[in-house]
A = this chain, B = another copy of it.
Amino acid sequence: MTDEGCPWVSFVVRKTRLQIVQDPSLNYEYLPMMGMKSFIQAALELLFGKHSQAIAEKRVGGVHTVGDSGAFQLGAQFLRTWRKNLKTVSIISCQKEQYGLIFQDMGFTVYEYVIWNPKKLCTDTSMFFEAMEHTPADSILVIGNIIDCRFSKNQWTKLMSIIKKKQIFPFFDIPCQGLSTGNLEEDTRLLQYFVSLGLEFFCSQSLSKNFGIYDEGVGVLVVAALSNRNLLCVLSQLMNYVRALWGNPPATGARIITSILCNPALFGEWKQSLQGVVENIMLIKEKVKEKLRLLGTPGSWNHITEQSGSHGYLGLNYQQVEFLTTKKHIYVPKSSRINFTCINNRNIDYITQSIHEAVMLTEG
């Protein structure tokens, strides 16, 4: 969000949009069902890196989808038909994710694990492994936002052995690459690890948020397969579902993104704008923390700046959230996870003062 409360749009996106519209040579024909080929290629290179071995081996591919809902819908339809042994879905994330319903509607049994520890005020790696223990064999494992989970080498090995033993099918969610840490590679660390081991998985890659094209819903269902042959089989089956779901994906968003990703100068500008956004978010968090410190609000507020990304937990309890909602008209969800980009110079004093009052009242 900008200071004016409007959704952020990268300047380079505005520029590219204008260039595209003025191009008289553009052909407005239907896209293929698979989507825009150059867009998928560029998106894969963004996700796995330009020199990714998996791309060179042609065992990763993708289908251009309508946003991340479309990617989950498409992937879930495929798994329901072609992996009939997978009957349950475990969703592990530091926040409540919305994909549960998609799987539930298709008849999967869904377990959701939010691995935010409200006592320790951090994303809790041990909660992650507890969730993994509870996950039944032959499950789909949706790995949401766990960027703040730092695994030790032992934990990595443990994770892989559970996945192999339980025959778990991973389904990643990469909703806003680059907007968590400001670093494109860092944000896909976990995924990189899986692909380097040659595992097969799906990944929902959304490009609406990190380009600021919310109104277009540009996504890719990324398929990592064991071999190129395997990949082609999966993609060809996916086409049948696409035909019934939306036929041909919309082009505008994909066209803008491809133009930026395939042009080194524009790509550089975009990367910088991402960093700018992330620095800005961190600045807001620092300011909130500092203001609470100056107000003398009880408790350490380090957890605010220790969380990556635009959203984060304030670490308030239900009673405190209720005070904010009913007395201060600050509508925070019960979990106290908020979008920090909605805090700006015009409302920060009111918000921090209100948090202070909430904490003082309930502490007392």
* A residues neighboring B (CB under 8 Å): 6-7, 9, 17-18, 21-22, 27-31, 66-70, 73, 98, 101-102, 105, 212-217, 240, 243-253
Q: Is A29 a contact partner of B7 (Cβ separation < 8 A)?
A: yes
Task: Contacts A21-B17, A66-B250, A252-B252 given; indicate if A245 touches B73 (C-beta within 8 A).
Answer: yes
7 A-B pairs with least C-beta separation: A69-B247, A215-B251, A66-B246, A252-B252, A250-B250, A102-B244, A30-B214
Interface of A is mostly: loop
In the assembly, what is the distance between CA of A213 and CA of B245, in Å? 19
Closest to A68 in B: B247
Pairs across A and B, CB under 8 Å, 22 listed: A6-B29, A7-B27, A7-B29, A28-B213, A28-B215, A30-B217, A66-B250, A67-B247, A69-B244, A69-B247, A73-B244, A73-B245, A73-B246, A98-B243, A101-B244, A215-B250, A215-B251, A215-B252, A216-B250, A217-B250, A245-B245, A252-B253
**B-chain residues with CB within 8 Å of residue A245 when the two chains form the complex:** 66, 69-70, 73, 245-246
Q: Distance (Å) between the CB of A37 and the closest chain B CB? A: 14
In the assembly, what is the distance between CA of A81 and CA of B126, in Å? 41
In the assembly, what is the distance between CA of A29 and CA of B217, in Å? 11
Q: Which of A69, A101, A253 has the most CB of B within 10 A?
A: A69
Q: Is A215 a contact partner of B69 (Cβ separation < 8 A)?
A: no
**B-chain residues with CB within 8 Å of residue A243 when the two chains form the complex:** 69, 98, 101
Q: Is B251 a contact partner of A216 (Cβ separation < 8 A)?
A: yes
**B-chain residues with CB within 8 Å of residue A21 when the two chains form the complex:** 17-18, 21
In the assembly, what is the distance between CA of A244 and CA of B216, in Å? 16
Q: Is A217 a contact partner of B244 (Cβ separation < 8 A)?
A: no
Q: Is B70 a contact partner of A31 (Cβ separation < 8 A)?
A: no
**B-chain residues with CB within 8 Å of residue A240 when the two chains form the complex:** 101, 105
